[in-house]
Amino acid sequence: MMQPQQSPAGPLAGVKVLGLTRARAGPTCTRQLADLGADVVEISAPGDDLSSAAFGGSDGVNLNRNKRSMTLDLRTPAGLEIFLELVDRSDVVVENFRPGVKHRLGIDPQSLMKRNPRLVYASLSGFGQDGPYADRPAVDQVIQGMSGLMSVTGPPGSGPWRTGIAVFDVATGQMLAQGIIAALFARERTGRGQWVHTSLLETAISMMDFQAVRWLIDGVVPASTGNAHPSMPLKGGSTLATSDGYVNVAALGGIDRLLAAIGLEAVDGEAADRLQERVAAVLASRTTAEWVDQLAGVVPCGPVLQMDEVFADPQVEHLNMSCPVTAEGGRVVNVLRAPLNFSETKPSVRRGPYRPGEHTEELLAELAHGSVDAGRVP
């Protein structure tokens, strides 16, 4: 169970987490906890191609850092027995099976919290733990469509567009980590754990934010507007071509400040498309860097960067958004650091990615089982 430490490596140092996570959203949650100092053990079944252990390449390095890995077959009595002993010593269990699976395996929240009343049991699913879609599988793009995100993304009239990352997988993992930390804080007052759960769909709809409440409050069905923001004056888009790339400009508080900064005069009653043309023509006359230097003190602005340019940006370099880690074969590579900064208990990348089952013997020894065959693979 959680033990206080004199000099914790991170704010969650001493918290013991068992992960039964798969695909991306669940492993993102446990990575968040691990980066904050928790001792995370990911448990996978032999041959499970969707477990976090199955992720290879650069993606796997980034998802599986800071964790240990154990292989157990929970369908066998011996494997289940060892898992339950681990539960007795843990603070948190994280799982993202479809809702019925945990009940079939006998590892549902009610069963595990009966054994360990201080346990925080965390579940992540596609559509929620109950309801008409509860047993359906889901992936990020399905949820992008069902949340309304694809309907407001892309050029006007172009049909639905997905975003370039698995935005709701990542956000839901982070949201569940937030819920776990809140439940651990509540346990300090009550002495009891609880079941905390969320889903891709719930997180996605909450992230629709102002677009969702435009419908709920104003009755407006938002449509795709390309790179134009519905509340900004440049209706043709706030992403504009320069002589060597693109720049984003946000004319907060009206268009006059932007026009003055680029040497244009406001014209009363000017049509939106004509205004767009005049601004675009001026911005196309100089480089992105020149415009950012000129406009940064006037309106929010910034360059549109490719990924290699992102990590060469002076501010990104200053923020140290990447950090080295040793991967398989002793190769040192860079991964993303946790985007949180603490004055005392700093998050860190303490270990590289695991091999599936790499720490099984080590964890069995911690349970004083030695090399007992417990439904695991060596």
| Pairwise CA distance, residues 173 & 176, whole Å | 5
The residue with tokens 């209706």 is 235
Three-class secondary structure of residue 180 per DSSP: helix
Q: What single-letter amino acid sits at 68?
A: R
| Pairwise CA distance, residues 120 & 113, whole Å | 8
Three-class secondary structure of residue 232 per DSSP: coil
| Pairwise CA distance, residues 327 & 62, whole Å | 10
Q: Annotated catalytic, 308?
A: no
| Pairwise CA distance, residues 357 & 321, whole Å | 29
Angle, nearest 10°, between helix axes 25-35 and 167-190?
50
Q: What is the SS3 assignment for 6-75?
A: CCCCCCCCCCEEEEECECCHHHHHHHHHHHCCCEEEEEECCCCCCEHHHCCHHHHHHHCCCEEEEECCCC
Using alpha carbons, list the distances in angstroms from residue 95 to 199, 202, 203, 323: 12, 17, 17, 28
| Pairwise CA distance, residues 82 & 41, whole Å | 13
Q: Taken in order 7, 9, 11, 14, is the CA torsion positive or negative?
A: negative
The residue with tokens 């509340």 is 231
201: which DSSP letter?
A: H
Angle, nearest 10°, between helix axes 167-190 and 200-218?
100
Catalytic residue among 169, 209, 308, 313: 169
- Catalytic positions: 169
